[in-house]
Amino acid sequence: MRGLARDLRLTEQALNESITLQQHVDANRILQLYERLVRIFTAKGWSFERKLYASTSREGNKAMNLNSFIGLMGHSLKRVETSDGVILRDVREGESPDFVMRNSEYVLKLDADSMLLRDYCLRLVYQMEQPGNERVAVIQTPYSSYRGAPTRIERIAAATTDIQHMLHQGMTYYDATFWVGANAVIRKAALEARLAASTAPRKLIVTDGVFSMDGDIAPLPALLRLAEAHQAWLLVDDAHGFGVLGPQGRGSLAHFGLSSPRLILMGTLGKAAGVAGAFVAGSRDVIEWLINTSRSYIFTTGAPPLLAETLLTAVDLIEHGDTRRAHLAALIARFKAGLRLSRWQLLASDTPIQPVVIGDNHETLAVSRALDAEGLWVPAIRPPTVPKGAARLRITLSAAHSFEQVDRLVATLKRLEARHP
């Protein structure tokens, strides 16, 4: 707080001198100083040390590490000891969280050996919020941006920081190369803010329909509203939704009853359809454009007639397969209702992908092998496919399964959880 107190004294001294000398003080400048001081005294901050936890990214890529932290923000978390170290996971129903990861609009990234003062960081945030800076995503702070820098050149740099973060490469816009270095203030911009700030003639939002490792469904209605509001396209990869979700198995978009010329749907024919290949669906203009400009389509040999005929049969089975999908939904409900775990975690999913997070890689492999020995094939998924400390069994149900098979799987999982420490 010494640095802040010094700033206040200097500001007061400058204003008093202006009054004594009867010099005009610009009203806008006074308002600017006032708003900055209000921000400094009223803003609330908190800190988090990422490297304490094995489940957060430890890659050489700083942006990946930052994203692993941002993904925890707003979550209620439990600390769990594993052989890989302490991991963080979402609390289960009925549990009390060890802590709640707060959410915030801005994130300050600091190296462990850095010392940035609170008031300086808030000045950077204030600068980002000034008119004309709405598109600024990150301000890269100089290493020398703290008081008491030991060398002359660092003291000079600290004195010119306001000029530096306005002029050098540290002020980065959404449509420019995004580099997160050692110390930076990042605007945790929502997708809406980025779309609103973009001046690109074509904007594209890309998402899975069903996420393959967690089994959850993307918030497609909200994403489509954003796309239409900002003249963007929404491209949905529905590899795990087509054939399973929605009336007639039409996929994730049909599941939500969505239709718009701003939608592009793509999917594979190698999962629910059981054949090979893929498709893209969209408005007539989009499809005509792809047919005439997509190099990979133009120079790809057409599907063999046998495969095409098999696909027609598969699509017919999907279209008239509501009874099978109803049976699949009943299997999912039975599995979720029956599996009550104490150490492992069944993630929240209403799709055929039902992940059971075990955490430890060795235990996950051992359980997968034990299931296989009992005639139950459940693959073990480990990092880097999933985050470190989040190794899991990826259970995938299908309409071909029976209630008896689901009951046997549930009973075996309970027994193995009790057996494995």
More confident residue, 336 or 4: 336
The secondary structure of residue 178, as a DSSP letter, is -
Whether residue 69 is found in the same domain as residue 182: yes
Whether residue 71 is found in the same domain as residue 16: no
More confident residue, 69 or 204: 204
CA gap 6, 86 in Å, rounded = 42
pLDDT of residue 21: 78
Whether residue 275 is found in the same domain as residue 405: no
CA gap 200, 350 in Å, rounded = 36
Whether residue 125 is found in the same domain as residue 59: yes
Q: What are the φ and ψ backbone dihedral angles of 141, each rounded to 5 degrees?
A: -90, 135
**97 part of a folded domain:** no
Task: Provide the pLDDT confidence category of residue 187 given band limits of 50, 70 and 90.
Answer: low
pLDDT of residue 390: 85
Task: Provide the pLDDT confidence category of residue 184 given band limits of 50, 70 and 90.
Answer: low
Select from 280, 256, 257 the least CA-distant residue to 268. Answer: 280
**86 part of a folded domain:** no
Q: Is the pLDDT of residue 398 over 80?
A: yes
**Domain end (from 283, 299, 319):** 319
Select from 202, 267, 196, 264 the least CA-distant residue to 234. Answer: 264
pLDDT of residue 363: 93
pLDDT digits (tens, 9 = 90+) for 75-124: 888 888 877 788 888 888 888 998 888 777 777 766 554 545 555 666 67
Task: Provide the pLDDT confidence category of residue 144 given band limits of 50, 70 and 90.
Answer: very low
Burial class (CB in 10 A: 0-12, 13-18, 19+), 377: exposed
**359 part of a folded domain:** yes
Percent of the chain with pLDDT over 90: 34
**Domain end (from 160, 194, 228):** 194
CA gap 264, 279 in Å, rounded = 11
pTM: 0.63
pLDDT of residue 103: 77
**88 part of a folded domain:** no
Whether residue 291 is found in the same domain as residue 411: no
pLDDT of residue 77: 87
Whether residue 59 is found in the same domain as residue 26: no
CA gap 194, 320 in Å, rounded = 41
pLDDT of residue 236: 95
**252 part of a folded domain:** yes
**Domain end (from 141, 172, 194):** 194
* CATH assignment of the domain containing 218: 3.40.640.10
Whether residue 56 is found in the same domain as residue 188: yes
Whether residue 56 is found in the same domain as residue 162: yes
pLDDT digits (tens, 9 = 90+) for 234-276: 999 999 999 999 999 999 999 988 899 999 999 999 999 999 8
Residue 121 lies in domain: 50-75+103-194
What are the angstrom distances between the C-alpha of 237 and each of 121, 251, 271, 285, 367?
40, 10, 13, 19, 31
pLDDT of residue 68: 65
Whether residue 144 is found in the same domain as residue 174: yes
CA gap 88, 115 in Å, rounded = 27
Q: Point out the residues that are catalytic.
A: 212, 240, 271
Q: Is the pLDDT of residue 349 over 50?
A: yes
* CATH assignment of the domain containing 352: 3.90.1150.10
pLDDT of residue 164: 35
pLDDT of residue 27: 76
pLDDT of residue 132: 67
pLDDT of residue 153: 35
Given a contact cutoff of 8 angstroms between Cβ atoms, the answer to whether 103 and 46 are in contact is no
**82 part of a folded domain:** no
Task: Provide the pLDDT confidence category of residue 229 given band limits of 50, 70 and 90.
Answer: confident
Task: Provide the pLDDT confidence category of residue 48 given band limits of 50, 70 and 90.
Answer: confident
The total number of structural domains in the chain stands at 4
Per the prediction, the chain carries an average pLDDT of: 78
**84 part of a folded domain:** no
**363 part of a folded domain:** yes
CA gap 152, 213 in Å, rounded = 53
Whether residue 273 is found in the same domain as residue 304: yes
Whether residue 327 is found in the same domain as residue 315: no
Whether residue 335 is found in the same domain as residue 310: no
Q: For the residues 30-36, what does the mean pLDDT come to?
A: 72
